[in-house]
Structure 1
Amino acid sequence: MYSQITRRQALGGLAAGATGLLQLPQALAQGSWPSKPLRLVVPFAPGGSSEIVARALAGEMAKSIGHNVFVDNKPGAAGNIAMQEVANSADEHTLILGHIGTLAVNPFIFPKLPYDPIKDFTPITLISKVPSLYVVHPDLPVKNLKEFVAYAKARPGQLNYGSAGNGSAGHLAFEYLKMVSDTFMLHVPYRGTGPMLTDLMAGRLQAASVGAPALLQFIKAGKLRCIATGTAARLPQLPDVPTVAEQGYKGFEMTQWYGLMAPSKLAKPHIDKLEQEAVKAARGKAVSDKLSQETALAVGNTSAEFARFIQQEQARWKPVIARAQIKPEGA
């Protein structure tokens, strides 16, 4: 025996069925992100540490996230052009490599930024730190940082240090050292690390701070002397060189760093998935080994930890930039 179904009940059932059919593709779509390759924008020219870090992470993430992750270099205006583009992106598949410059330095150098590093982006994970080294020409009669500071204080304004340009990581690193050591040395900006190192090794400059990957070969060849590392702990590649902190400046740390960022408008489930995949990749042996070859340190912290780190770095660099009156190129 069967019960009779009213017309209203039948129509209601059809409507419910139709709603379910409509909801099914939507649910599938929400669950299948990413639905196409992810674009990881690098706001600098190819060939530097930024590209090495980005490609190491992208290659590992692609193995487990279900789609390719391709690196897209987009240099210009100290990273501001790329940051603005990604902040305004709405395709849900565009990410960016965050950097000490774009996230912790540019806000205090440029009078007005086309993006807000806190409001427009969500931190995913801190991928890597690249150690900064403090080096001098080997003819300078100093063996360590303590002797260098004493030598500089006895000759205020007589020593020159070089950097890759105004507002560069090397510029910031040396101004930070000048601030904590209360020394006065003249800054000579160059257009890139290469020509600056040429002059340093020729003796036209006395000192500089540069990322470890570009310096190790010259240190080992005796063309430069490393007097300190900017890392929190000594580097395995330079076990006999103490850190700045070890030599009397507690809490001092100077590293270039790179992290994965997403536009803040990206849906929370996508952010969570990115964090899970990026942290797993950054902590994995493949990425760690690749970065270690470049004297870079793999990190892979949580989104919340990375957000706190960015705030700490902004607090670190704001007074350094103000004291040194650092301006962008052409300003």
Structure 2
Amino acid sequence: MRRRHLIQLAAAGAAGTALPALAQSGAFPNRPLKLVIAFPAGGPTDITMRSLADNAGKVLGQPVVVENKPGAGGSLPAQQLQTSPADGYTLAQIPLGVFRLPYTTKINWDPVKDISYVINVTGYAFGIVVPTDSPLKSWTHFVGWAKANPGKLTYGSTGTLTSPHLTTELIAQELGIQLQHVPYKGSADLAQAIVGGHIMAAADSTGFAPLVEAGKLRVLNTWGEQRLAKFPDAPTLKELGLNIVQNSPFGIGAPRGTPPAVVKRLHDAFKTAMEDPSYVQALARYDMLPMYMSSTQYTKFAQDTFAKEKALITKLGLAKPG
């Protein structure tokens, strides 16, 4: 009898300790969440991520508030995770530039180990554009002018060490041309610069699409496996003889040590949000597509990408000394 009584007491005690934990996990989230994104308001990342955040907020029952934090090659949101509580209430967009950071800058955190990878949501469609009235009517003209005028052809990107910057430098290296890079904080600033005549070309995601459709810009090439339906006349880099494909997948991360149950709750909510037609339509405006990776898949992607980006940075001669 005594033994049975002790077992019952132990079971009751275990249930008692489990209940607060269950209640606590069931209560998440009980206040608004913050999603920090790496680019300014008004660009394709901002517009599509706001749609995703709105959808996720409906699933979670709490608003997901977007905060724009541009600059530093898209790495500021990930850096913010390093000083945020691991409670799931602060999330960050993780662009590819995050995986390049340790090779070019001295930092005291690890992009793979110090982020809880929640879900990958999409990637970009990229290309190079010039003003419609530019004498560079085609990619052949672009390359020819650059060869005849080393270092004088100016192009803008969405920031130093972003995918548009590094991919354009890789293209230039492959072709043996020298270009002059001008970094901007995001697609909106870059669009103003090229329309205003401050630069000769722009390398960007298809945030330039409205300006192309308005007749202000011309697409010289795109960077996917296949031509974009919106710009069927623009050849891919592969068609132009360059074995380069860039779509720069990105997703959402949380601080290291975020409880697995919270990561799963976030993953499930954002996965449902990805499937909402309003988000798919927002992506389609920029020829972007849903690109789902689970938390486990996204973590493996982070590990693999970290190694690949080291090779790219080394190839371009951009690694920090020492």
TM class, shorter-length: 0.7 to 0.9
Q: How does 1:166-205 map to 2 (within 5 A)?
A: 166-189=160-183, 197-198=191-192, 200-201=194-195, 205=199
Summarize deviations over 1:40-87 as a string: whole Å, max 9, x none: 233444433333233222222223334433323445655555423323
Q: Quote the residue 1:243 is aligned against.
A: 236
Q: SS of the counterpart of 1:130?
A: coil
The answer as to 2:94 corresponding to 1:98 is: yes
Q: Quote the residue 1:207 is aligned against.
A: 201
Q: 2:117 aligns with which of 106, 118, 123?
A: 123
Q: Quote the residue 1:266 is aligned against.
A: 258
The answer as to 2:45 corresponding to 1:53 is: no
Asked whether the equivalents of residues 43 and 186 of structure 2 are also in contact (C-alpha less than 8 Å), the reply is no
Q: SS of the counterpart of 1:246?
A: coil
Q: Please state how far the C-alpha of 1:184 moved relative to its aligned partner.
A: 1.8
Q: Please state how far the C-alpha of 1:14 moved relative to its aligned partner.
A: 6.8
| Alignment partners' CA distance in 2, 1:9 and 1:195 | 74
- Identical-residue share of aligned pairs (%): 30
Q: How does 1:9-88 map to 2 (within 5 A)?
A: 12=6, 15-16=9-10, 18-20=12-14, 22-29=16-23, 31-32=25-26, 34-37=28-31, 38-75=33-70, 77-78=72-73, 80-88=75-83
The answer as to 2:281 corresponding to 1:289 is: yes
Summarize deviations over 1:75-116 as a string: whole Å, max 9, x none: 565555542332342334322211122x23323221x12431
The answer as to 2:293 corresponding to 1:275 is: no
1:56/1:114 CA distance change after superposition, 3 Å: farther
Q: Please state how far the C-alpha of 1:207 moved relative to its aligned partner.
A: 2.2
Q: Please state how far the C-alpha of 1:117 moved relative to its aligned partner.
A: 0.8
Summarize deviations over 1:166-210 as a string: whole Å, max 9, x none: 334442232122123232222244566566555544655332212
For 1:12, give the aligned amino acid: L
Asked whether the equivalents of residues 40 and 96 of structure 1 are also in contact (C-alpha less than 8 Å), the reply is yes
The answer as to 2:151 corresponding to 1:157 is: yes
Q: SS of the counterpart of 2:232?
A: coil
* Residue ranges of structure 2 left out of the alignment (5+ in a row): none
For 1:238, give the aligned amino acid: F
- Rg comparison, structure with higher value: 1
| Alignment partners' CA distance in 1, 2:114 and 2:86 | 12
* Residue ranges of structure 1 left out of the alignment (5+ in a row): none
For 1:174, give the aligned amino acid: T
Asked whether the equivalents of residues 280 and 300 of structure 1 are also in contact (C-alpha less than 8 Å), the reply is no
Asked whether the equivalents of residues 72 and 159 of structure 2 are also in contact (C-alpha less than 8 Å), the reply is no
Q: 2:227 aligns with which of 221, 226, 234?
A: 234
What TM-score comes out, normalization by structure 1 length? Answer: 0.79
Question: What's the Cα RMSD here?
Answer: 3.3
Q: Please state how far the C-alpha of 1:154 moved relative to its aligned partner.
A: 4.1
1:76/1:305 CA distance change after superposition, 3 Å: same
| Alignment partners' CA distance in 2, 1:191 and 1:152 | 25
Q: Please state how far the C-alpha of 1:142 moved relative to its aligned partner.
A: 4.5
Asked whether the equivalents of residues 124 and 261 of structure 1 are also in contact (C-alpha less than 8 Å), the reply is yes
Please identify, of 304-313 and 283-292, the stretch whose mean Cα deviation from structure 2 is larger.
Answer: 304-313
Q: SS of the counterpart of 2:293?
A: coil
For 1:262, give the aligned amino acid: A
Q: Please state how far the C-alpha of 1:226 moved relative to its aligned partner.
A: 1.0
1:82/1:196 CA distance change after superposition, 3 Å: closer
Q: SS of the counterpart of 1:299?
A: strand
| Alignment partners' CA distance in 2, 1:92 and 1:149 | 48
Equivalenced residues, count: 318
Q: Quote the residue 1:134 is aligned against.
A: 128
What TM-score comes out, normalization by structure 2 length? Answer: 0.81
Asked whether the equivalents of residues 107 and 113 of structure 1 are also in contact (C-alpha less than 8 Å), the reply is yes
Q: Please state how far the C-alpha of 1:19 moved relative to its aligned partner.
A: 0.8
Asked whether the equivalents of residues 165 and 189 of structure 1 are also in contact (C-alpha less than 8 Å), the reply is yes
